[in-house]
């Protein structure tokens, strides 16, 4: 059995082939350019490396409602040229194999949930953008569409009242205030070049901790996992944990201590979405 994974990101597509034990045996990255070029390169990879089924975790928003004519489309994305692109339909027509289709963060959440044997889990990616996925007893949380946790509203930090935010839709939603580009917009320096003790990281942590608090109060997961480049900054997770404890103020009991409740991914090398896609692909064969 060979399983395929597509982590379709706004910057790059990560294509992978795995075995029945979800071990990656081949992995490549291709840049996300135009839809035609990127999708054709993706199809070519899987024709050269055939798989029995495929899991796709895509940037969004996407249409995951199988009753809709636009099921499988990337819909109202700000990614130039990618609005209303039938990603799933083109892949199915070319490859003719079973496919699972969800968001990239849902795929990551699923991979982390299965790897940790948790019954429920929320996964946030805090990077160029912010997204969140939630899994409960093996099922994704969502109704008519998938969650868009990155665009929730958050309370402003007292030292950040004059910053407009960088979200093109909402300005100062969570993504507008805490995603990677907001650091450079405030300081003029990219986050990777800022020292770990710069005060902007405390502001970022305040917003990210609010997202964790909101997820705790609305979804009550067994664990919250943070991925993405912002969370890779030295000391960032500890900052978020401390802010979270202050914000929650012991209102509800956590399933464990905060160091085990708010964590980084257990799957190495940014592989959460790939493993999640492998597992979703295997489910399609059942």
- According to the model, what pLDDT value does residue 61 have? 92
Give the closest residue to 130 by CA, choosing from 91, 180, 89, 64: 180
User: pLDDT of 185-218, one tens digit each?
Assistant: 999 999 999 999 999 999 999 999 999 999 999 9
Q: Which helix (H) or strand (E) holds 43?
A: helix 35-48
Which residue(s) pair with 145 in the sheet?
none
Token look-up 């664990």 returns 223
Tokens of 26: 């081949």
Top-tier CATH class for 3-104: alpha beta
Share of the chain above pLDDT 70, in %: 100
| Structural domain spans, the chain | 3-104, 107-263
- Distance in angstroms (rounded) separating the CA atoms of residues 45 and 216: 40
Q: Is the pLDDT of residue 144 over 80?
A: no
Average pLDDT, the chain: 95
Q: Is the pLDDT of residue 80 over 90?
A: no
- According to the model, what pLDDT value does residue 77 have? 84
Decide whether 3-104 matches 107-263 in CATH topology: yes
- According to the model, what pLDDT value does residue 142 have? 79
Tokens of 111: 């991979």
Give the closest residue to 208 by CA, choosing from 234, 231, 185, 183: 231
Mean pLDDT of 65-90: 93
Give the closest residue to 70 by CA, choosing from 92, 49, 47, 89: 89
* 107-263 homologous superfamily: ATPase, nucleotide binding domain (3.30.420.40)
Tokens of 245: 């404890």
- According to the model, what pLDDT value does residue 146 have? 85
């Amino acid at each position: 059995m060979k399983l395929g994974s597509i982590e379709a990101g706004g910057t790059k597509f990560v294509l992978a082939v795995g075995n029945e034990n979800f071990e990656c045996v081949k992995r490549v990255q291709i840049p996300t350019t135009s839809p035609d070029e990127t999708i054709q390169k993706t199809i070519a990879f899987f024709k050269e490396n055939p798989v029995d089924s495929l899991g796709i975790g895509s940037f969004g928003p996407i249409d995951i409602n199988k009753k809709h004519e636009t099921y499988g489309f990337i819909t109202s994305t700000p990614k130039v040229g990618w609005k209303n692109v039938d990603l799933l339909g083109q892949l199915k027509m070319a490859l003719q194999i079973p496919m699972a289709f969800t968001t990239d963060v849902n795929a990551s959440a699923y991979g982390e949930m299965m790897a940790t044997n948790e019954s429920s889990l929320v996964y946030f990616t805090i990077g160029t953008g912010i997204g969140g996925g939630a899994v409960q007893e093996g099922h994704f949380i969502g109704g008519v569409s998938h969650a868009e946790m990155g665009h929730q509203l958050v309370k402003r930090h007292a030292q950040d009242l004059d910053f407009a935010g960088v979200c093109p839709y909402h300005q100062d939603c969570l993504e507008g205030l805490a995603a990677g580009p907001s650091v450079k917009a405030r300081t003029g320096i990219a986050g990777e070049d800022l020292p770990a003790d710069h005060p902007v990281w405390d502001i970022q942590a305040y917003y990210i901790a609010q997202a964790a608090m909101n997820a705790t109060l609305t979804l009550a997961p067994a664990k919250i996992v943070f991925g993405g480049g912002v969370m890779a900054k030295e000391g960032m997770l500890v900052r978020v944990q401390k802010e979270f404890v202050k914000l929650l103020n012991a209102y509800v009991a956590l399933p464990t201590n905060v160091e085990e409740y708010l964590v980084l991914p257990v799957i190495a090398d940014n592989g959460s979405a790939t493993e999640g896609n492998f597992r979703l692909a295997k489910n399609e064969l059942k």
